[in-house]
Amino acid sequence: MAGNSFGQLFKITTFGESHGKAIGVIIDGCPPNISIDEDFIQSELDKRRPGQSKITTQRKESDTAQILSGVFEGKSTGTPIAILIPNEDQRSKDYSHISDKYRPSHADYTYQQKYGIRDYRGGGRSSARETAARVAAGAIAKLYLKSQGIDIFAHVSAVGTLEAPNLDTTNLATLLDVRENNIARCADPATANEMIDLIDKVRKAGDTIGGKISTIVRGVPVGLGEPVFDKLHADLGKAMLSINAVHGFEYGSGFSGSAMQGSEHNDIFVQEEGRVRTRTNFSGGIQGGISNGMDILFRTAFKPVATIMRDQETLNEAGDSTTISGKGRHDPCVVSRAVIIVEAMTALVLADHLLRFKAYR
């Protein structure tokens, strides 16, 4: 199986399956002498781990990260960093009823046809369990970016048709505190309460629901992005679309920009406090595929989780019609746990592009 690595200079390779002994990641290209805060890495993993609230899967995993190499006396050495995360609470028997059945909108059929074999226990490699390894790697990328003055903030901005209002993003630290004070991970408290009620209602009905995550990146210098095929927004889009259940990505004005005229949409350059800025930011901080120094803004859309606790029609491996029902422990809405995954993948893209940018200098 190819496609397990991401990045060029700051490169990661993840490994492991949902119900195997462990998952993990190799990080190659992390600069030396970066302070590696293991408590921070664990705190990032805790935001993604299952079983953290009534609106997430009840699988119990501590997601304890074990750094095996590449760190000495709290600093990165410049050699590959290996991180292992043991699996602790697999219930493979929950999946025995689908060993020869294809779950609707899952990867069962496509994996079987592509490889001639599949791990039906939680989806194996196709499971979102793999994203814990990305979060661990993303935490290290965040530590590097933080040393360069770059901050990333994401939050749940929509669940179903519930949309959070536009936020005052002057103080990202305040928004982070608000986000982490509710299980929906929405930075608007009133909307968060509505989201929690909606997700819980959907869960009790045996169904699932989708949502959106909005991201802002502050402190990015002018010049990140490698046209023509490695444009910054193109790599961010690939990173987001590689996350399980993601069905859409838009940056800046996004799809709404297609309804505007150029006279409305153009970002006018101005001088502010001795630096070039734009009066508006419909470009989302990226022009010509290169960061322009403004805040990078984008949104990521997640579909409803495919496993629902209701009977559905499907086919088995023999091609016969059959019925399948969801069992086990699953998220009714994935976005509250996916916030940290979106931030991690954002950090990996920016760390890689920052190193590529510095290579020119």
Q: What is the DSSP string of 96-162?
A: GGGTTBPPTTSSHHHHHHHHS----STTGGGSGGGHHHHHHHHHHHHHHHHHTT-EEEEEEEEETTE
Q: What is the mean pLDDT of residues 124-142?
A: 95
Q: What is the pLDDT of residue 53?
A: 76
Q: What is the pLDDT of residue 18?
A: 87
From the number of C-beta atoms within 10 Å of its C-beta (0-12, 13-18, 19+), residue 39 rates as exposed
Query: CA of 254: how far to CAs of 154, 173, 186, 298, 322, in Å?
Result: 17, 26, 21, 8, 41
DSSP strand pairing (275-278 vs 269-272): antiparallel
107-111, 119-123, 155-159, 201-205: which range is least confident on average? Answer: 119-123
Q: Is the pTM of this model over 0.85?
A: yes
- Which carries the bigger pLDDT value, residue 314 or residue 328? 314
- Region at 274 (left for phi over 0; alpha for psi -120 to 50; beta for the rest): left
Reported residue count of the chain is 361
pLDDT over 70 for what percent of the chain?
Answer: 96
Amino acid at 231: K
Q: What is the pLDDT of residue 222?
A: 98
**Distance between CA 156 and CA 138 in Å, rounded?**
19
Q: Which two tokens stand for residue 333?
A: 């809405």
Q: What is the pLDDT of residue 88?
A: 84
Buried b (16+ CB within 10 A) or exposed e, 204-227: eeebbbbbbbbbbbebbeebbbbe
Residue 249 pairs in a beta bridge with 300
Check whether 57 has a pLDDT greater than 60: yes
Q: Which of 118, 119, 134 is nearest to 13 (CA)?
A: 134
Q: What is the pLDDT of residue 92?
A: 57
Residue 163 pairs in a beta bridge with 158
Q: What is the mean pLDDT of residues 283-304?
A: 98
